[in-house]
Amino acid sequence: MENRTYADVLGSGGGHAPRLSSYARACGLATNYQAITHPSLPNYLAATSGDTGGVSSDCSPADCPQHRTSLFAQLDRAGLEWRTYAESMPSPCDRTTQGRYATKHNPAVYFPGVRSRCEQWDLPMGGANGPFAHDLANKTLAAFTFVEPDICDDGHDCTTRFADQWLGALLDRITASPSYKQGGAAVFVTWDEGIGDDQHIATVVISPGVPRGTRAAQPFTHYSLLRTTEALLGLPPLGNAGTAGDMRAAFGLTAPPTR
């Protein structure tokens, strides 16, 4: 999700985002989670590679390719599959921003080392019969799944309430699915960055094993999210993830997810 502070999303008792607030109450909430920097792209790179790669703008994949190891490459080397489901993306692994699709929110397209896998596994999300809906219903989600809303549904160009309605409907579908109900799934909902100097952002952790109403006040960042993801998948931490706080114990995510 895009460009909102914690207060923008979950302030005022959660009135700005009632759908997400209900999931935060039912599952877990990181109350001291900080983005890495501004603008968007460096945060996405940090969360999937352990470093911003020196990027300080929303440059295109052609202008700032990342010739280094990423979570995507780690998964491939470990014999695990990954997927990106990008809403409004015209074609798989599309490296050109167009319409409501923004490459800066799709980190896999920035890593040339996984280009062939990207063309297979970085997919348009589709609608009721699209790739994401199919995999969700048929319990064929990959070991790691990244969902990218388009620039309206993520709140970048539309209101917090509008984005919350989209997000709530998505989470309802996920938690009602066989993929989630079989156990072992963990869903992390986070924002890429806050606003200006306020980089305190909302991050909700949803999983059958998270005790209801969990509140974790430990300092976490996007590097923590990467470390936690890698630990759950049995992968070594990349870059700054190695010294970041691990979120597993705080939310009861102590076992690898079932694949």
User: If 0-12 CB within 10 Å is exposed, 13-18 middle and 19+ buried, where does residue 142 land?
Assistant: middle
**Collapsing DSSP states into helix, strand and coil, what is residue 52?**
coil
pLDDT tens for each residue of 80-134: 999 999 999 999 999 999 999 999 999 999 999 999 999 999 999 999 899 999 9
Residue 168: what pLDDT?
98
Residue 169: what pLDDT?
97
DSSP per-residue letters across 66-81: --S--HHHHHHHTT--
| Separation between Cα atoms, residue 94 and residue 54, nearest integer Å | 23
165 pLDDT higher than 60: yes
- Mean pLDDT across the stretch 133-161? 97
**Collapsing DSSP states into helix, strand and coil, what is residue 216?**
strand
Kindly indicate the confidence band of residue 194, based on its pLDDT and cuts at 50, 70 and 90.
Answer: very high
CATH class of 6-251: alpha beta
Residue-range domain boundaries for the chain: 6-251
